[in-house]
Structure 1
Amino acid sequence: MSTMNLDDETPHKLEGRGIAIVVCWILGLGCLVAWNSMLTIGDYYYVLFPDYHPARVLTLVYQPFALGTMALLAYKESKIDTRKRNIAGYILFFLCTLGLIVVDIASSGKGGIVNYICICVFVAGFGVADAHAQGGMVGDLAFMKPEFIQSFFAGLAASGALTSGLRLITKAAFDKSSNGLRKGTMLFLAIATFFEFLCIFLYAFVFAKLPIVKYYRAKAAREGSKTVASDLAAAGIETDANQRAEIEAKAPDRLSNKQLLIKKLDYALDLFFIYVLTLSIFPGFLYENTGTHSLGSWYPLVLIAMYNVWDFIARYIPLIECIKLESRKWLMIVILSRCLFVPAFYFTAKYGDQGWMILLISWLGLTNGYLTVCVMTVAPKGCSGPEANALGNIMVVFLLGGIFLGVALDWLWIIGNGSF
């Protein structure tokens, strides 16, 4: 076990960039693949629990646990061991997805309030796991290369695209077979469980040992970060008492969380407004407010798939520098202009055909993915390692806060239509 050489910044430390980008993508996928599986198999839960609004209720269960846990972790982020936090998050994801399979097998795929409550408990576990893993990863990647955080957020979106594509395939494969909907659901949850296990392995044994990751974490440690110590130790780098004292003496004064929030408030609000709008429409509106069309039971699945695919594609658009939006003023203007989606969806559902709705949901996904990556890659610029880690956690708090409010506003669509 070697000690950290504070002056060693030789070029070989930057090796492993490509592998790191791939691992970040998979770790991002692991943060949402379980939850997106829940959203994508919503048609199964509507069969089991037709009177309980599963798309809306499960989302509303998930978000308070995610937001509350994330707010607490963000407040204490400078004292929390990032390695333990992230591994705990992925382990909890694994256990909860496995738990959903066990509940379905134990109940033989039957409905009922007891099974519904069990599902809600595991969904709450998803929220706690999300706060640990997503918040910890975003904070960790915020002081590394922008491509890492872009890849992580692309992985988040890829989970939606992957689950939507698989859902269409499984529906086509099992639609006519006996108990086909349940078979497709079990396949989904099994795939999600596998990816969560893969993320535990990649984070625990691969990511920390990549030279470029060690380089940025060592750099953050020199700037006074205490959250990276376990990851550096896992990579074979430790600091002795003298080095820790030297680091604390030389580390620049970092802004407090309050000062960071004031300095970067517009970016935090950008994320908040992006997800308030998106989650006020997706997914509940698509399941319950789009009417009956020629696609029948395929219709909400196609809409969700189109949103997820375009959300995923859009997260790579900012890699083209000439069309990446970086202006703080224009980011806010464009994000606020997305409020026009609300009347657009209302009138399209009321008067438009399914082609217009598919086009509209594609634009919702496109703007969501593009603007998310633009904000997240620009916001940490000018921050030291500890500040970037704190800012990443703050940004995820606002992101989850936006999702929570959006989920609550989504219920307004069913007021007066007899669905309560």
Structure 2
Amino acid sequence: MGGQVTNGAAIQIKGKYAAMVVCWLLGVGCLLPWNSMLTVEDYYMTLFPRYHPARILSLAYQPFNVGTVAVLTYNEARINTRRRNLCGFSIHFTSTLLVLVVDLASSGKGGIGPFIALCAISGAFGFADAHVQGGIVGDLSFMLPDLMQSFLAGNAASGAFTSGLRLVTKAAFEKSKSGLRKGSADLAAAGIQTQIDEQDEEDSKKMERLSHAELLTQNIDYAIGLFLIYVLTLSVFPGFLSEDIGKHSLGEWYALVLIATYNVWDLIGRYVPLLKFVRLKSRKGLMIVILSRFLLIPAFYFTAKYGGQAWMILLTSFLGLTNGYLTVCVFTSAPNGYKGPEQNALGNILSAFLMSGLFAGVVLDWLWLIGKGW
């Protein structure tokens, strides 16, 4: 009898770790296509120097992302989450292929036509991400916190992976006549992924549950916290780090190194809460830390103006570390104490506020250009 219990526990543990791996892969797949485009900003800056691609492409992404997730969150109780996720991954796959098609069709010559096409593809990425992020976060919200942490870590891992691959491809093709284009094409190809199927969801959404308004009222601090985390992050990354950090000894590698640094520390930050004694659970404590993080704005401003590249790398590391850490702390703390359907709805609501923060941050990022001309 004791042996059967031991075997059952071992199977349960193996199942848990297998689920964590699947959630991590889903997290990678959610943002890999978009990060593939994001980490070749040096190529787009060379191809479209007049159009501020580091800022415009992000701005094209966000309205479709926020608008779609708002509609899906409002109707989440009537939507089949499995189909929603499959739709999102299918659009990701198709849009990633189109990035390569646009580059091949234009022969890497730039111009307003290819740039508009890339903006449209960025919008498609935002539309797809709204389907996938909210859907998976909603489903994972009523499961184990470890599964949510694995999914969020996978999100960050996609950025670290694409940044690392971009550094490799840039080094490999740096002396080639069309090195930037070749490296970017290789990275886009790496972002192409297959559709990932999921298990059918239980038909539990028909149970009696709190309304969206009631859930938001009870968790308004978590929602505002996520909004503020990403307002700050996206007001600096990637636009400011790509265009406004001056000239340093790293030359054209500088922006790539900063973006890679952010992505790596964002990934590390999402694993830090696994250490239970450093996971921040206090609602008041989370808000204090989130608000204190806005001191990074003047820190980045004065470092870009007067500091060296070592200080900028240090600040960027802290930006990524705190972004990943606080994201996991909020998402793993908020859904506790609710029924399954309510946790699903709350996960969607929090995702909507996160993406709204992304949008607001991208818009505010343009303020760095005040006084610099166009």
TM-score with structure 2 setting the length? 0.95
Cα offset, 1:225, TM superposition: 2.2
Letter paired with 2:247: T
Q: Does 1:61 align with 2:60?
A: yes
Letter paired with 1:53: H
Other-structure match for 1:357: 312
Other-structure match for 1:80: 79
**Cα distance in 2 between the residues matched to 1:258 and 1:13:** 37
Cα offset, 1:413, TM superposition: 0.2
Give deviations 1:71-130, integer Å, cap 9, x for gaps. Answer: 000000000000100000000000000011011111111101111111111111001000
**Cα distance in 2 between the residues matched to 1:177 and 1:154:** 35
Q: Does 1:120 align with 2:136?
A: no
Other-structure match for 1:266: 221
Can you give the 5+ residue segments of structure 2 that lack an aligned partner in the other structure?
Answer: 1-7
**Cα distance in 2 between the residues matched to 1:280 and 1:183:** 30
**Cα distance in 2 between the residues matched to 1:386 and 1:361:** 38
Other-structure match for 2:168: 169
What does 1:352-391 correspond to in 2, within 5 Å?
Answer: 352-391=307-346
Give deviations 1:370-399, integer Å, cap 9, x for gaps. Answer: 000000001110111100110111001000
Q: Does 1:412 align with 2:367?
A: yes
Q: Does 1:225 align with 2:224?
A: no
**Cα distance in 2 between the residues matched to 1:382 and 1:29:** 28
Other-structure match for 1:235: none
What does 1:303-342 correspond to in 2, within 5 Å?
Answer: 303-342=258-297
**Cα distance in 2 between the residues matched to 1:328 and 1:114:** 48
Other-structure match for 2:97: 98
Other-structure match for 1:344: 299
SS in 2 for 1:16: helix
SS in 2 for 1:315: helix
Other-structure match for 1:240: none
**Cα distance in 2 between the residues matched to 1:334 and 1:347:** 22
Other-structure match for 1:22: 21
**Cα distance in 2 between the residues matched to 1:383 and 1:125:** 33
Letter paired with 2:154: G
Cα offset, 1:177, TM superposition: 1.5
Cα offset, 1:16, TM superposition: 1.9
Cα offset, 1:292, TM superposition: 0.3
Moved over 4 A (4+): 10-15
**Cα distance in 1 between the residues matched to 2:281 and 2:258:** 30
What does 1:283-298 correspond to in 2, within 5 Å?
Answer: 283-298=238-253
Give deviations 1:34-68, integer Å, cap 9, x for gaps. Answer: 11111110011111110000010000000000000
Give deviations 1:200-222, integer Å, cap 9, x for gaps. Answer: 1xx31xx42xxxxx8xx55xx4x
SS in 2 for 1:316: helix
Can you give the 5+ residue segments of structure 1 that lack an aligned partner in the other structure?
Answer: 1-9, 209-213, 227-250
Structure of greater Rg: 1
Other-structure match for 1:139: 138
**Cα distance in 1 between the residues matched to 2:187 and 2:270:** 24
Cα offset, 1:331, TM superposition: 0.1
Other-structure match for 1:211: none
Give deviations 1:253-284, integer Å, cap 9, x for gaps. Answer: 31001100001111111100000000001111
Cα offset, 1:13, TM superposition: 7.2
Cα offset, 1:178, TM superposition: 2.5
**Cα distance in 1 between the residues matched to 2:158 and 2:347:** 21
Aligned alpha-carbon RMSD (Å): 1.4
**Cα distance in 1 between the residues matched to 2:113 and 2:164:** 31
Other-structure match for 2:230: 275
Decide which of 254, 258, 262 is 1:299's aligned counterpart: 254
| Aligned length, in residue pairs | 366
**Cα distance in 1 between the residues matched to 2:115 and 2:239:** 18
Q: Does 1:254 align with 2:209?
A: yes
Decide which of 349, 358, 361 is 1:394's aligned counterpart: 349
Other-structure match for 1:70: 69
Q: Does 1:153 align with 2:181?
A: no
Letter paired with 1:300: A
Other-structure match for 1:185: 184
TM-score with structure 1 setting the length? 0.85
**Cα distance in 2 between the residues matched to 1:134 and 1:287:** 26
Cα offset, 1:14, TM superposition: 7.4
